Amino acid sequence: MTDLSCEEIKAFVPAKDFALSCAFYQHMGFQIAWETPDMAYFYHGDCSFLLQNFYNPEHAKNFMMHLLVADVTAWHDKLTSAGLAQKYNIKITEPSLQAWQMIDFVIYDPSGVLWRIGQSSDDG
């Protein structure tokens, strides 16, 4: 019998300034499993992605990541209190209830990649 199970899926996230983006993601709370001059493997718990030393403005401006978390308020508090918006000159929005029954907020990385960080909501 053929085994078609999946073990992992990772996105290749673009970086305009690879070193700056590496620092940013570590400040967010991700850890580096390994790094080369062209790529870094980041993880937090069971969630992971590959940061690539590649940048195309149109690609980065249209690239989105979604991180589902247990406590969106705790994540928002951690990222705002760490001063990421000021340190990296990026934008972090306030958490809000979305039509798709998620409470989430948006954070942009230094390359313009949009992250939606949210948790499921029973409201609605």
* pLDDT, position 21: 98
User: With 90 as the cut, is the pLDDT of residue 39 above it?
Assistant: yes
Q: How far is CA 74 from the centre of its chain?
A: 15
User: With 60 as the cut, is the pLDDT of residue 124 above it?
Assistant: no
What percentage of the chain's residues is helix, strand, coil (to nearest 5)?
25, 35, 40
User: With 60 as the cut, is the pLDDT of residue 4 above it?
Assistant: yes
- Count CB-CB contacts under 10 A for residue 45: 10
Q: What is the average pLDDT value for the chain, to the nearest integer?
A: 95
Mean pLDDT check: name the lowest of 38-47, 57-66, 114-123: 114-123
Q: Round to whole Å and give the CA distance between 61 and 55.
A: 10
Identity at 59, one-letter amino acid code: H
9-18: b (≥16 Cβ within 10 Å) or e: eeeebbbbeb
pTM score of the predicted model: 0.92
* pLDDT, position 86: 97
